[in-house]
Amino acid sequence: MSAYKAAPRTVVEACFDPQGTASLDYVYDVAAAAGLSDQPVRLAIRRLEAAGVLRQEGRGRKGRLLLTDAGRLRADMDVRFIALAYAQDAGLAPWDGLWRLYTFSVPEQRRAERDALRVALTRLGAVALAPGAYVSPHDLLEELVGETSEATVGTYLITAEATRLIGPGFTGAVAVAERLWPAADTIEAYQPLADALGDESPGRDGSSAELIATALGLVDAFSRAMESDPLLPTELRPAPWPPSQLRHAFRERWAAIRKQAPDLSLFRAYDIPAMPSA
C-alpha cells in the first residue's frame, strides 16, 4: 500500500456531482473506504462551510452538501487550469511572448482588498517583482475578477504588457522564468505525484475500497502539485519537462481507473481526454 493518504478535504471535494451536490452518506462511505473516520471529515466540512465554499442541508447521513457560487467559481477555475496545463503540454497553447505586469496601491483602510489581490495573484502563479508589482506570462484578469471582485480590480489594479524584462540575471525569457519561477521548486512539488504513480499495489485486488483509496491518493497528489505549479508556457521550461511527463502518466492512470470502475463517481473534472500534439 502507498504511504500517501488522501486528506479529508480531498474526500469531500471528490464527491460533488456536476451539479455541485454531494450526499453526505456517499461522502462518509468514501471516507471510510479511504481509511478515514467521520470526525475529520465533519471538521473539513465545517471549515469549507466557514470559508464559503459549500453549505450543508440536513443533518447526518441523510443530509447533503451544496457548492456555493464561490465554490462553483473555484471549481470551474480549477478545471480551466487543468485544461490549460494539458493544452500547453500538447503544444496547443503557445506563448504569445508577452509578460503581463500587475500593479496596485490600495489604501490601508482597504487592507482586505489589498490582501485579496496579493493572495489571488500568488495563487494564480504571478511573482512579485516589488511590493505591489507582479508579473506573469499569462493574462490573469478574468481569474483575478473571479478571485477578488470586479470592483476591486477596476478600482486598484493597473496592468501592462511587455515583450522584454530587464534586470539582474534577466538575459532572456528563459532566464527570467528560471530566476522568478525556479524549475527545481516546481519539480519538487510533483514528487508526491511521482511517488503515488510509482506505487503499483493499490487497487490491484479489484476491491472497491482499494480502488477508491487509490483514486483519492492520486488526485490529492495531483491537486497539490497543480496548486504549486505556475503553469509557465513550455517555451519557458527546459525540455523534457518532468511535470508534463507526470501529468501524462496521471492521465493514463486515471483513464485506467475509470475503465476499471466506470461508475465510480469521483472527480469527474479530472477526466481529461487525450490531446493530439500540435
Mind listing the pLDDT tens digit for each residue in 37-63?
999 999 999 999 999 999 999 888 889
- CATH code where residue 158 lies: 3.30.70
Question: Which are the contacts of 114, defined by CB distance < 8 A and separation ≥ 6?
Answer: 104, 106, 156
pLDDT band at 269 (very low <50, low <70, confident <90, very high): low
Give me the number of domains the chain comprises: 2
Q: What is the pLDDT of residue 207?
A: 61
Residue 88 in domain: yes
pLDDT tens profile 182-221: 999 999 999 999 998 987 654 455 567 778 888 888 888 8
Residue 171 in domain: no
Q: Do residues 199 and 215 both lie within one domain?
A: yes
Q: What is the pLDDT of residue 227?
A: 92
Residue 84 in domain: yes
Residue 63 in domain: yes
Q: Do residues 21 and 72 both lie within one domain?
A: yes
- Percentage above 90 pLDDT, the chain: 60
pLDDT tens profile 93-146: 999 999 999 999 999 999 999 999 999 999 999 999 999 999 999 999 999 998
Q: Which of 20-34, 84-98, 188-202, 258-272 has the lowest mean pLDDT?
A: 258-272
Q: Do residues 28 and 115 both lie within one domain?
A: no
Q: Do residues 90 and 189 both lie within one domain?
A: yes
Average pLDDT on 241-261 reads: 90
Q: Do residues 103 and 71 both lie within one domain?
A: no
Residue 38 in domain: yes
- Percentage above 70 pLDDT, the chain: 91
Give the H/E segment covering residue 65.
strand 64-67
Helix, strand, coil content of the chain in percent (nearest 5): 55, 10, 35
pLDDT value at 20 more than 90 = no
Residue 197 in domain: yes
Q: What is the pLDDT of residue 156?
A: 96
In the numeric block, the cell 470502475 is attached to 261
C-beta pairs of 86-92 under 8 Å, 24+ apart in sequence: 86/247, 86/251, 86/272, 86/275, 87/275, 88/231, 88/233, 88/234, 88/244, 89/234, 89/244, 89/247, 89/248, 89/275, 90/275, 90/276, 90/277, 90/278, 91/234, 91/277, 91/278, 92/275, 92/278
The residue among 132, 162, 192 that closes a domain is 162
For the chain, the average pLDDT equals 88
Residue 170 in domain: no
Phi, psi angles (nearest 5°) of residue 55: -135, 150
On the 0-12 / 13-18 / 19+ scale of CB atoms within 10 A, 222 is buried
Q: What is the pLDDT of residue 2?
A: 46
Question: Which are the contacts of 240, defined by CB distance < 8 A and separation ≥ 6?
Answer: none
Residue 153 lies in domain = 99-162
Q: Do residues 123 and 158 both lie within one domain?
A: yes
pLDDT band at 258 (very low <50, low <70, confident <90, very high): confident
Q: What is the pLDDT of residue 74?
A: 83
Q: Do residues 189 and 274 both lie within one domain?
A: yes
Of residues 95 and 14, the one with the higher pLDDT is 95
Q: Do residues 186 and 90 both lie within one domain?
A: yes
The residue among 128, 162, 196 that closes a domain is 162
Q: What is the pLDDT of residue 240?
A: 95
Q: What is the pLDDT of residue 276?
A: 52
pLDDT value at 1 more than 70 = no
Q: For the chain, how big is the Rg over CA atoms in Å?
A: 20
Q: Do residues 21 and 78 both lie within one domain?
A: yes
Distance CA 114, CA 107 (A): 8
Question: Which are the contacts of 130, defined by CB distance < 8 A and separation ≥ 6?
Answer: none
Q: Do residues 85 and 127 both lie within one domain?
A: no
pLDDT value at 89 more than 60 = yes
Residue 277 in domain: yes
Distance CA 247, CA 250 (A): 5
Distance CA 4, CA 41 (A): 17
With H, G, I as helix, E, B as strand and everything else as coil, classify residue 55.
Answer: strand
Q: What is the pLDDT of residue 201?
A: 52
Q: Do residues 86 and 105 both lie within one domain?
A: no
Q: Do residues 84 and 186 both lie within one domain?
A: yes
